Amino acid sequence: MKKAISIFWFRRDLRLTDNAGFYHALKSGHPVLPLFIFDKNILDKLPEDDARVTFIYQTIADLKKELQKHDSDLLVKYGKPEKIWSEILGDYEVAAVYTNHDYEPYARERDDNMAEFLTSEKIAFKTYKDQVIFEKGEILKADKTPYTVFTPFYKQWHAKLNPFYTKAYPTQKYYKNLLPCKDLPLPSLKEMGFEKSKLSFPKLSYKSKLDSYAKERDFPALDGTTHIGLHLRFGTLSIRKAVRDAIEAKSNIWLSELAWREFYMSILWHFPYSAADSFKKQYDKIKWRNNESEFKAWCEGNTGYPIVDAGMRQLNQTGWMHNRVRMVVASFLTKHLLIDWRWGETYFAEKLLDYEMASNVGGWQWAAGSGNDAAPYFRVFNPELQTKKFDPKLEYIKKWVLEFGTKKYAQPIVEHTFARERVLKVFKEALANS
Ligand SMILES: Cc1cc2nc3c(=O)[nH]c(=O)nc-3n(C[C@H](O)[C@H](O)[C@H](O)COP(=O)(O)OP(=O)(O)OC[C@H]3O[C@@H](n4cnc5c(N)ncnc54)[C@H](O)[C@@H]3O)c2cc1C
């Protein structure tokens, strides 16, 4: 008879240390087999050089090596989760499946189906909070409804923060409970239809940035932010560790940025419709112009607005864009060009290494004015003033727009004052009738 085991299913928590679900699996009383599934439902929609797939792949290979040091291994599968799970149950005697909560709409549906399937097979399915400090119903207004404005959300988030929520899960104490196994195969990127991306990935070395973060974070030429988004997205950094580091460095502004991430996750959890529809529904009455050649010029960084073009070229070439510039380019697309925020959101989702559905939708709806805690619609960023304030020596612009200041550089795609008046009229008309 096969020996009963527990399986820990890695998804967006790709680390052995301080991992809630992995910790509980290791303490389950059964030997633990770690698993990762390259999910065809997700991968089939991505281009073959998607850099995030390369990042995941490299991380998975590292995890395998780590586990092998403990005489265990990582079972890596490629396919649709439903099918993979049927295969696994044929190969192993599974007592329980452990994993961490995942809050995006696709993940919720997948996990609901998994729970149903495993329960029907009499297998326990146990999931834990791991990627946030506070989740779902933990930060609510007095009347138990979710906050839709950041400041009071953060007040409660911060007041509730204590070492109970930020302490690390000591997984390393229990590695002896891993299932002994070796030489489990790893499918190649090529077999899964991908090629290795040429982009490089940000290192996890953010501590030196925390002291100067508040002073430097708004100036794109200084690169004063930490670039941890990718690591939080895929769990190569524990949010508990990030929060502990923020507290230790007394970096309150950075701490509040980590809370913005959770605020947007809370919004997506409580209002899943906002992933595709405007949070303020009347904004879906706006008559977007959606001009395709203007959209192309924006994507390629050829609008003739240097700060916008610098941002888009940084994104295209590195998979990352500075937050201040994300706001400027998003405002420009939705307001100056009157292109639907969903077009920009989709483009960012394809290109950003740190793409996070909740923050991306949140950021775009904030810029368009349609979001829960958005800039008022009549606030139209002036790219020239933004440049004077945040890139006064044009260093960021010159770094990314090499032909800036020469005849080769594009003429402005639209005149600022004209565009401003146009958007105010169109938005006012849409919103007046609601
Ligand atoms: C239009 C638009 C789209 C965006 N899309 C994304 C996205 O897909 N993924 C994403 O993680 N962030 C997104 N942001 C938020 C923000 O721009 C990035 O988190 C930040 O630029 C990432 O760089 P960093 O890791 O150096 O951040 P730091 O400034 O060092 O902040 C540390 C971490 O805090 C979180 N954070 C910081 N600012 C925000 C914010 N405004 N909202 C939510 N979380 C925040 C992120 O996890 C970030 O990695 C978007 C913002 C806008 C305006």
What is the spatial distance between Cα 197 and Cα 206, in angstroms, rounded to a whole number?
24
Q: How far is the CA of 26 from the centre of ligand 1 (A)?
A: 33
Candidate from 213, 267, 268, 323 with most ligand 1 atoms within 8 A of CB, to mutate: 323
Between the CA of 351 and the centroid of ligand 1 the distance, in Å, is: 14
Question: Ligand 1 centroid vs 327 CA: distance in angstroms?
Answer: 11
Q: 222: which 2 tokens?
A: 């200084």
Calculate how far, in angstroms, residue 301's C-alpha sits from the geometric centre of ligand 1. 21
Distance from C-alpha of 410 to C-alpha of 309, rounded to nearest angstrom = 10
Cα–Cα distance measured from residue 9 to residue 146, given in angstroms and rounded to the nearest whole number: 30
Distance, CA 330 to ligand 1 centroid (Å)?
13
d(CA 192, CA 190): 5
What are 326's two structure tokens?
A: 């994300």
CA of 354 to the centre of ligand 1 (A): 8
Q: Which residues are annotated as a binding site?
A: 213, 254, 257-264
Nearest CA to ligand 1 atom 23: 227
Residue nearest to atom 51 of ligand 1 (CA): 363
The tokens for 55 are 């990042």
- 277: tokens are 């529809």
Any long-range contacts for 220-223 (C-beta under 8 Å, 24+ apart)?
220/310, 220/311, 220/322, 220/324, 220/325, 220/390, 220/391, 220/396, 221/391, 221/393, 221/395, 221/396, 221/399, 223/322
In angstroms, the CA 366 to CA 353 distance is 20
Mutate to test the pocket of ligand 1, among 151, 227, 359 (most ligand atoms within 8 A of CB): 359
Query: What's the CA-to-centroid distance between 56 and ligand 1, angstroms?
Result: 20
Could you give the CA distance from residue 287 to residue 308 in angstroms, rounded to a whole number?
Answer: 23
Look at residues 365, 47, 288 and name the one whose alpha carbon lies nearest to residue 357: 365
Q: Is 0.85 topped by the overall pTM?
A: yes
Look up residue 168 and give its amino acid. A
* Whole-number Å distance between alpha carbons of 23 and 412: 55
pLDDT at site 434? 66
Residue nearest to atom 38 of ligand 1 (CA): 257
Delineate the domains of the chain, giving CATH numbers in brackets. 1-129 (3.40.50.620), 131-167+211-270 (1.25.40.80), 278-432 (1.10.579.10)
Extract the annotated binding site for FAD.
213, 254, 257-264
For a mutational test of ligand 1's pocket, the pick from 222, 231, 261, i.e. the residue with the most ligand atoms closer than 8 A to its C-beta, is 261
Predicted pLDDT of residue 374: 75
Q: What is the pLDDT of residue 301?
A: 98
- Ligand 1 binding residues, C-beta < 6 A: 217, 225-229, 232, 257-258, 260-261, 264, 323, 326-327, 330, 348, 352, 354-356, 359-360, 363-364, 367
- The CA distance from 13 to 22, in Å, is 9
SS3 readout for the chain: CCCEEEEEEECCCCCCCCCHHHHHHHCCCCCEEEEEEEEHHHHCCCCCCCHHHHHHHHHHHHHHHHHHHCCCCCEEEEECHHHHHHHHHHHCEEEEEEEECCCCHHHHHHHHHHHHHHHHCCCEEEEECCCCCCCCCCCECCCCCECCCHHHHHHHHHHHCCHHHHCCCCHHHHHHHECCCCCCCCCCCHHHCCCCCCCCCCCCCCHHHCCCHHHHCCCCCCCCCCCCHHHHHHCCCCHHHHHHHHHHCCCHHHHHHHHHHHHHHHHHHHCHHHHCCCCCHHHHHCCCCCCHHHHHHHHHCCCCCHHHHHHHHHHHHHCCCCHHHHHHHHHHHHHHCCCCHHHHHHHHHHHCCCCCHHHHHHHHHHHHCCCCCCCCCCCCCCHHHHHHHHCCCCHHHHHHCCCCCCCCCCCCCCCHHHHHHHHHHHHHHHHHCC
| Cα distance between residue 290 and residue 242, in whole Å | 40
Written as tens digits, the pLDDT of the chain (434 aa) is: 678 999 999 999 999 999 999 999 999 999 999 999 999 999 999 999 999 999 999 999 999 999 999 999 999 999 999 999 999 999 999 999 999 999 999 999 999 999 999 999 999 999 999 999 999 999 999 999 999 999 999 999 999 999 999 999 999 999 999 999 999 999 999 999 999 999 999 999 999 999 999 999 999 999 899 999 999 999 999 999 999 999 999 999 999 999 999 999 999 999 999 999 999 999 999 999 999 999 999 999 999 999 999 999 999 999 999 999 999 999 999 999 999 999 999 999 999 999 999 999 999 999 999 998 877 888 899 999 999 999 999 999 999 999 999 999 999 999 999 999 999 999 999 998 66
